Structure 1
Amino acid sequence: MSYTLQKKIVVVSFLFIPVALLLLFLIYPTIKLFQFSLTDWNGVSKSFSYIGLKNYAVAMQTDAVWKALFNNFRYFIIHALFIPLEIMVAVYLNNKIRGSLFFRSLVFLPYILNGVAVAYIFSYLYNPINGPWNGLLEWIGMEALKRNWLSSPEIVNYSLIVVSLWRFSGFHVILFLAGLQSVPKDLYEAAIIDGAGPFQRFRYITVPGISRVIEIVLFLNVRGALQVFDIPFLMTQGGPGMASTTFTVYTIQTAFKYNNYGLASALAVILMVLIIVFSYLQSQLFKGRTE
């Protein structure tokens, strides 16, 4: 057996299991997803009928789908507005301050907590009867601000977004902190010698230096906003009514609550396409700035 053939056999042997797992758990389910999106399968019967693109047309004409997408859009906008604050926190933690390592661990802690635990903690905090949040407002004399935080359609989404910010902002701060540590210190020293102020250093050195990290955080923001599921599902079940239903929650309910797996598959395909499209647009937006 020649040496070249031996190398090929070794490479194929090592790649066989990863490729097999990839085909089994990614490629095959994706193909079946596209197939089911063209059917009227209810998830139970052994047979189904192909109905073409009807499920996609129904999804586009359903008001609840657009309402869910709008709720996802709120998550995206508010998380995007918090990115400058997250960068400033990272800049502060990047300085040599007392206890910086402790604070870095502290801001990252919410991200590693179990999502179910986070949901139940904030459900207790938002409890309108004996919850600590309303109790705090009453204690400081601001009873007029007491609300039913999870049962009022006007504010339920913002209450859930606060939970999302608390859980994921710390992870973004750590990413920005890693980016800041890759920016050469010589640039800051030269800027200080040239008389650049803190804002000028932040604008012309810090932001360009972490542009790649900003792009990554925006991608995570887009993907996370479109896939928001655990927080609204566990805390409100998408209620009251459908006020806090997100696209993923609506998809899960369509499949497992209403047994319409064909429509749910179409919604999943639409979600995948949305993520790909927004990721492409974002890459084009940052293409000229990061080259």
Structure 2
Amino acid sequence: MATGMTQTLDVDSSEKNKFLKWLKNDKVQKKILLTTFLFVPTIMLLSFIIYPAIKLIYISFTDWNGVSPTYNYVGFKNFINLFTSNELWKTLYANGIYFFLHLILIPVELYIAFLLDRYIKGSEFFKSIFFMPYIINGVAVAYMFSFLYSSEDGILNAILGLINIDKIGWLSDPKIVNYSLAAVSLWRFTGMPIVLFLAGLQSIPKDMLEAATIDGASVWQQFCKIIMPNMKTVTSIVLFLNARGALMVFDIPFVMTSGGPRGSSTTFALNLVKIAFDFENFGLAAAMAIVLIVMILLLSKLQNKLLGMKG
């Protein structure tokens, strides 16, 4: 009996040694390390991106009201209603104003970054100043500009009064309300492209620019032949952020006008939220969210093609 126990212990010890030897193998350790580090991100990816995306697609084919425990399948009805409703697509006009104003400002942002990189000392200080509005809470920014635009005691109308110009309904005139709100967006988000462009400029090898200067290239020639070709990736990122931001504008019109006057400042995202929570039509809202994602991806693809970039 003692001999049997000894043999069992020897077998267990031998198996344990084999396992320890296998565990000490470099390839095995790398696999264990990679698996351990990838486990948490994979679970988070599945939980917070993949599953919600699948759920969103599923809800878009139902008439779920956000409360009912059951889902009634309606097929493509939500998408048909979306593409045949003029009211829903009118909101894209407001988004278009944000998009084109930000697009027009991109050369100015690049020029400011160029000045900070080449001609202005203490660029870190100015970079912080330009970036500061971006990190301020969006609701706080909206309330601040609501005071500036106020028809009663707003600073802008007070300045106009000093030069004998009638008050302007910055937020009450349907013709100019979107431009007023887009100006707030420009003030808040312009700092991010400037910082990105500045980072791109600083990544260009200085000896390349010095060699071009020695060869007699002007600043404009350096900008066109050296700087811009090396800034394609950064430009692509800025254009993508512009497209995504313009199509997803929500907080500024929501806080400042609630989509008024008469729905003229309602953006696509603001309309989406209203349909979901005010009209309790989460199925149509989910369909709008899917269309919004597709529009952002298509705009990104178009911009990459125009820049001659892959992907």
Category of TM-score, reference length = shorter chain: over 0.9
For 1:83, the equivalent position in structure 2 comes to 106
Amino acid at match of 1:12: T
Asked if 1:14 is matched to 2:37, the reply is: yes
**Inter-CA distance 40–9: structure 2 relative to 1 (3 Å threshold):** same
The residue matched to 1:143 in structure 2 has which SS?
Answer: coil
Asked if 1:265 is matched to 2:286, the reply is: yes
Cα deviation for residue 187 of structure 1 reads 3.0
Matches within 5 A, 1:1-291: 1=19, 2=22, 3=25, 4-139=27-162, 141-144=163-166, 146-287=167-308
* Residue-by-residue CA offset, 1:21-49 (whole Å, 9 max, x unaligned): 21111111111100110001111222231
TM-score after normalising by structure 1: 0.93
The residue matched to 2:228 in structure 1 has which SS?
Answer: helix
Which is greater in Rg?
2
* Residue-by-residue CA offset, 1:42-73 (whole Å, 9 max, x unaligned): 11222231110010010111112211112112
Rounded to whole Å, the distance in 2 between the matches of 1:192 and 1:106 is 31
Rounded to whole Å, the distance in 2 between the matches of 1:111 and 1:202 is 27
Rounded to whole Å, the distance in 2 between the matches of 1:119 and 1:10 is 47
Amino acid at match of 2:291: I
* Residue-by-residue CA offset, 1:165-224 (whole Å, 9 max, x unaligned): 001111110110001111122233233333333322222222222121111100111111
Cα deviation for residue 6 of structure 1 reads 4.9
Rounded to whole Å, the distance in 2 between the matches of 1:45 and 1:275 is 31
Cα deviation for residue 226 of structure 1 reads 1.0
The residue matched to 2:44 in structure 1 has which SS?
Answer: helix
Amino acid at match of 2:215: D
In structure 2, runs of 5+ residues without a counterpart are 1-18
Amino acid at match of 1:111: Y
Q: Judge which range, 223-232 or 96-105, deviates more.
A: 96-105
The residue matched to 1:211 in structure 2 has which SS?
Answer: helix
Q: Judge which range, 125-134 or 68-77, deviates more.
A: 68-77
Amino acid at match of 1:45: S
Rounded to whole Å, the distance in 2 between the matches of 1:210 and 1:160 is 30
Cα deviation for residue 285 of structure 1 reads 2.6
The residue matched to 1:241 in structure 2 has which SS?
Answer: coil
Rounded to whole Å, the distance in 2 between the matches of 1:190 and 1:247 is 49
Rounded to whole Å, the distance in 2 between the matches of 1:8 and 1:268 is 39
How many pairs were matched up? 288
